[in-house]
Structure 1
Amino acid sequence: MAVEAVVFDVGNVLIEWQPERYYDPRIGADRRRAMFAEVDLHGMNDDIDRGGDFQAVVYAWADKYPEWRKEIRMWHDDWLEMAKPEIPQSVRLLRALNKAGVRTLALTNFGIGTWAIATPVYAFLNEFSKAYVSGHMGVIKPEAEIYRQVEADSGIAPERLLFTDDRIDNINAAQARGWQTHVFDGPQGWADRLVAEGLLSAEQAR
């Protein structure tokens, strides 16, 4: 089935997202492991990605864990240092698709506040035909509703969407709705898939 739109996840596809890596040089790997074992920081981030106020959510969690208050607040106060760097080849692929006239969409678990911080810094986040941001939608991947909303809003049949994401649960949820998918494990594999689909030439995908 011909692809009508290419759908990108953002975290670990276009921008590296490794909070554990951020904390290790700042508080030490042992202390970081202890904090993540005690505090469900990724669950906290899900609350943000569902539309919760960025600072209010992080600071409330920090207040629940006084021993880790300073470290948890860093999730908000130093977030741009956590959400970096961009993945250059993936950005080039996005721009090559846009230049080739292929419709590009983002489907990302991202908070309202974090998206507002990221978009002025990472210009390519503003270059999609449309970005579907979980915080604005009130639902996150891999819940089926977020995929349904993309289908309904874009008007594109599921089988004509090609979606890449680094998380297999998000991929499986898209496949269950009939989307074409690619598990992102590096930009070169994604480039090869786009060439194989006839969306880019090998030259364009470099």
Structure 2
Amino acid sequence: MTAELVVWDFDGVLNAEPEGEPFGWVTDLDRTLGLSPRAFRAFLNQPGQAARVLRGALPLERALADWLATQDTDVRAEALLDHWLRAEDRPDTQVIDWLARSPGRAVIGTNNPAPRADYIMDVMGLSAHVETIFASGPMGVAKPDPGFFGQIERWSGLMPQDLLLIDDNRQNLASAARRGWQTFHFDARNRNDLPKRLGIAP
């Protein structure tokens, strides 16, 4: 079935997953910014904090500023955020090419705070290929919550069966499928099947 609108996940689809452990760049924070990698990992792992940031209940800049205030440093939150965004900038050029050549309407649907959503569109340049970005921070709801998909349905004015989600997370795909969406599970095994699903040449 042809989809009227394709919703592309970002991390793990348009943005390649890092090799090794997540946030591997934190290991070099002492060298790059003079900050303690161990202390920053403890900050990242504070219970419930990531969920609050992803849903926009806690602005990422404020969380970073509050943590930096506990450290012996002159680094500002803006500098740490900029370093973070650039360190997580890993475009999958092949997949972005598929997006650029796909004939239908496209948006990004991602669990990310507002600053990263802006970075994805404006600095990484994805705004050239999609109509808009649906990011959990500004939306106030994150995948796999059904409300995330409901907002996209209302914006598009389309029926669920006319929407296609491309995602690497099975829970997200299952939640969209329960609403009647078409889905494509993106992983290393079947990524090369995506061009055919989009109706383009590999």
Q: TM-score, normalised by structure 2?
A: 0.77
Aligned to 2:52: 47
Percent identical: 27
Whether the 8 Å contact between 2:139 and 2:148 is mirrored in structure 1 is yes
Instruction: Look up the match of 1:200.
Output: 199
Selected match of 1:164 from 163, 166, 171: 166
Structure 2 matches for 1:80-159, cutoff 5 A?
A: 80-97=85-102, 100=103, 102-159=104-161
Q: 1:60 to 1:126 in 2, by over 3 A?
A: farther
C-alpha deviation, 1:33, in angstroms: 7.8
Q: Which residue of 1 aligns with 2:7?
A: 7
Q: Describe the shift of the 1:134–1:13 C-alpha distance in structure 2 as closer, same or farther (beyond 3 A).
A: same
The answer to which of 33-42 and 130-139 deviates more is 33-42
Structure 1, unaligned runs of 5 or more = none
Q: Is the 8 A contact 1:8 1:107 kept in 2?
A: yes
- Counterpart residue type for residue 124 of structure 2: Y
Cα distance in 2 between the residues matched to 1:176 and 1:126: 31
Partner of 1:58: 64
Report how many aligned residue pairs link the two structures: 193
State the distance in 2 between where 1:110 and 1:38 align: 18
**Structure 2: any 5+ residue segments left out of the alignment?**
none
Rounded Cα–Cα distance in structure 1 between residues aligned with 2:144 and 2:8? 14
Deviations 1:154-206 (CA, angstroms, capped at 9, x unpaired): 112112211111222212211221211122214x83341340x3x323xx33x
For 1:60 and 1:130, how far apart are their aligned partners in 2?
Answer: 31
Partner deviation per Cα, 1:93-130 (whole Å, 9 max, x = no partner): 11011xx3x11121111211222233222112442123
**Shift of the alpha carbon at 1:145?**
0.5
- Report the AA paired with residue 140 of structure 1: A
Contact 2:10 2:110 in 1 (8 A): yes
Q: Residue type matched to 2:185 in 1?
A: V
TM-score by length of 1: 0.76
Q: Alpha carbons of 1:33 and 1:181: their partners in 2 closer, same or farther (altered >3 Å)?
A: farther
Matched residue of 2:16: which SS? coil
Bigger mean CA offset, 152-161 vs 114-123: 114-123
| Aligned equivalents of 1:138, 1:104: Cα separation in 2 | 21
Go from structure 1 to structure 2 and tell me whether the alpha carbon gap of 1:61 and 1:192 turns closer, same or farther (over 3 Å shift). Answer: same
Check the 8 A contact 2:15/2:92 in 1, yes or no. Answer: yes
Mapped contact 1:35–1:68 kept (Cα < 8 A): no
Comparing 81-90 with 46-55, which one deviates more in the overlay?
46-55
Q: Cα distance 1:68–1:42, how it changes in 2: closer, same or farther (>3 A)?
A: farther
Once the two structures are TM-superposed, the CA of residue 40 in structure 1 deviates from its matched residue by 2.0
**In 1, distance between residues paired with 2:88 and 2:60?**
14
Cα drift, residue 148 of structure 1:
0.8
Q: Please report the RMSD computed on the Cα atoms of aligned residues, expressed in angstroms.
A: 3.2
Q: Which structure is higher in helix share? A: 1
Residue 35 (structure 1) shift: 6.2
- After superposition, the Cα gap between the structure-2 partners of 1:32 and 1:170, relative to the gap in structure 1 and judged at 3 Å, is farther
176, 185, 188: which one pairs with 2:187? 185
